Structure 1
Amino acid sequence: MTGPGFAHLLRLGDDTGLYEHADGPLPRREHGYCLDDVARGLVVLCREPEPSADLVVLVERYLAFTAHAQADDGRFHNRLGTDRAWRDEPGSGDWWGRALWGLGTAAARCPVPWIRTAALARFERGAHHRPPSVRSMAFAALGAAEVLAGDPGHRLAAELLGDVSSYVGGPGDVPGWPWPERRLFYANAVLPEALIAAGHLLGDPGIRDDGLRLLGWLLTVESAGDHLSPTPTGGRHPGAPRPAFDQQPIEVAALADACARAHEVTDEPRWLTGVHRAVAWFGGDNDLGVPMRDAETGGGYDGLTRDGPNLNQGAESTLALISTLQHGRALAGSAG
């Protein structure tokens, strides 16, 4: 499978932001924009080691959207209509966490100095919140990890990252179910990834090892033989039958993110398995043996149903594809 392409991401956007939904490869403009997706876009674009001029323009656009979404108190709106009016009040749900993830990544990795400065200021405006949702906090922790890796003395980032372990918790003592929740939900691998990042950057091997243990268990649970069989949209409880549908690309991308970080932290080859399985899932090595990407458009399909792919190519699924292929390319480059 080739590396990531950005043609479909360009197709899904305009000079305001990124349309959330698509009908096949065509953006459904009537549904408007979503900060969740724009923030995911900031993450993947700022991971590019040598972004083209077109991609830098997208970073500028996504950063402007994220800044516009942020209220004075650091919380964020999530949904913007095509009339450029917000459809919600500022909050600290998942979109707050993803916004801090995107801003932290831009602040640490973007090659354009003014973008790094502006992104860091917006990160700092929002990093003092502590929402009730564990996933909101875990997404934000990944942004804090980016900031702290570049600036080990950054107090706000260190405090946010230091608080995430109390949200996630460590492995439980239920036989066969060490997961800290009673069931798996969505983007599950972000929880152990946040622990791995916190333990590594804050010098706490216990927290790091908790994250590695949870991730190893999750990789086993979300595999069937040699391919991924991820948690479906309805979640998964102990003893649930498999395969189960609908499967979402975001689950696969989160697992690739976490395994790539685990490999970076430990240099243990076993974590490469997770990345390779995630890349292969999009290529057709999944429960139905069908590709989950459109080779012509570069878009990612919205989900794997029991009847085959959902052929719509929205922003979330396309960014999940791009993110996963970035990890595959990085590992191929290091192996070469």
Structure 2
Amino acid sequence: MTGLVRQFPAGVTRSVRVPSVSFAHLARLTDDTGLFEHARHATVRREHGYCTDDVARGLAVTSREPEPSAEVTRLAEIYLTFLTHAQDETGAFHNRLGFDRRWEDEATLGDWWGRALWGLGTAAARSTSPWIRAEALHAFRLGATRRSEAPHAMAFAGLGAFEVLRAHPGDGESLALLADAAAAIGPPGADPTWPWPLPRLTYANPAIAEVVIAAGAVGGDSELLERGLRMLAWLQEVQLNGGRLSVVPAGGWGPGEPPSGLDQQSIEVAALADACATAAAVTRDPAWEIGVQQAIDWFLGDNDADAVMWDPATGGGFDGLTPLGPNLNQGAESTLALISTLQHARRTTT
């Protein structure tokens, strides 16, 4: 555990202990095939099987570890093997695998295709294991030949390309995919009260801004970069309630609707941390670290319900913040969101 002092928006200084990154619950959710999607409390629900979305996130967070243990490397290998099995010869991906090891869907270019490329790109750029980097890059290149009609899928894939470009600057396939992802997002509409390129805020909203920021930075396009930064700044502003983070709820939020409320998902918090970290790295402006800190503090209890959103006994993240308090189930998505956000905490406090 790392002891840190936080200054909370109400002006009250509280001593907050930020947990170190733990993969204990992620390992509990993982077998030799992949990462189970759901849990009841901390116990795996095998009947719900596995999904590519979560496995891709798992590969990303394990690959982001600068000094992975043997256990973390083992998890990364399992997740990489799952993704290469999920990918067909055209570069598309299946999403849902039953506990009977049978695919329950066809390979397509949905969000899971984009998230798979994000995970593979992260592994290709950041894994400390050469064999993981090589295989992840091979699978990424196959998937990067495709394009999805869904803006979110393109955003996730573009962020995978941004990761590859960390290790392979000038890579043509990655540059093309990142540029196409930003184009798929498009500019904001004409309504000055809604400076967002999509008609509603739905899910993983910060990733939409992040990929525009990434494309602007990589392409040397200052106008595109500024557009992405404005999008992210506005998104930060509308997700504050009394100075604390209050992310868009699961039902989304659109123009003219009441402010967002509870039924908040951990993955939204982690996405904001990722986007603000990217903005800070690209601009070298430490002000963007405020968004990262707000995401960390949300998990530690500085949220609309004053509720801690993780279980110290297991290392798992709670599945959401409801009007009745935390959903105490500790599934893959929320646990990965916790790990991802705490990885940023380590970066900002060392």
Which bin holds the TM-score, normalised by the shorter protein? over 0.9
Q: Which residue of 2 aligns with 1:230?
A: 247
- What amino acid maps onto 1:129 in structure 2? R
How is 1:120-199 mapped onto 2 (pairs within 5 angstroms)?
120-199=137-216
SS in 2 for 1:291: coil
SS in 1 for 2:204: coil
2:124 is the counterpart of 1:95: no
The CA RMSD over aligned residues, in Å, is: 1.0
SS in 2 for 1:82: coil
Structure with bigger strand share is 2
Distance 2:261 2:242 in 1: 15
2:10 is the counterpart of 1:4: no
2:341 is the counterpart of 1:318: no
Q: Which residue of 2 aligns with 1:107?
A: 124
SS in 2 for 1:91: coil
> Is the deviation greater in 172-181 or in 290-299?
172-181
Distance 2:316 2:346 in 1: 17
Distance 2:202 2:140 in 1: 27
Question: Do the aligned residues in 1 keep the contact of 2:144 with 2:177 (CA within 8 Å)?
Answer: yes
C-alpha displacement of 1:243: 4.7
Structure 2 residue ranges without an equivalent (≥5) = 1-17
Which of 38, 41, 65 is matched with 2:82 structurally?
65
Question: Do the aligned residues in 2 keep the contact of 1:149 with 1:201 (CA within 8 Å)?
Answer: no
Which of 53, 59, 63 is matched with 1:36 structurally?
53
Question: Could you report, residue by residue, the CA deviation over 1:246-299 in whole angstroms, capped at 9, with x for unpaired residues?
Answer: 100011110000000000111112211100000000111001111111111110
Distance 1:106 1:179 in 2: 31
2:281 is the counterpart of 1:264: yes
Question: Could you report, residue by residue, the CA deviation over 1:42-78 in whole angstroms, capped at 9, with x for unpaired residues?
Answer: 1111111110010001111100000000000000001
When normalised by structure 2's length, the TM-score is 0.93
Question: Do the aligned residues in 2 keep the contact of 1:283 with 1:290 (CA within 8 Å)?
Answer: yes
Percent of matched pairs sharing the same residue: 58
2:73 is the counterpart of 1:56: yes
SS in 2 for 1:49: coil
- What amino acid maps onto 2:293 in structure 1? H
Q: Which residue of 2 aligns with 1:211?
A: 228
Q: Which residue of 1 aligns with 2:9?
A: none
When normalised by structure 1's length, the TM-score is 0.97
Question: Do the aligned residues in 1 keep the contact of 2:188 with 2:198 (CA within 8 Å)?
Answer: no
Structure 1 residue ranges without an equivalent (≥5) = none
SS in 1 for 2:156: helix
SS in 2 for 1:189: helix
> Is the deviation greater in 280-289 or in 231-240?
231-240
How is 1:264-303 mapped onto 2 (pairs within 5 angstroms)?
264-303=281-320
Question: Do the aligned residues in 1 keep the contact of 2:253 with 2:260 (CA within 8 Å)?
Answer: no
Aligned residue pair count: 333
- What amino acid maps onto 1:81 in structure 2? G
Question: Could you report, residue by residue, the CA deviation over 1:7-39 in whole angstroms, capped at 9, with x for unpaired residues?
Answer: 000001111110000000001011111110000
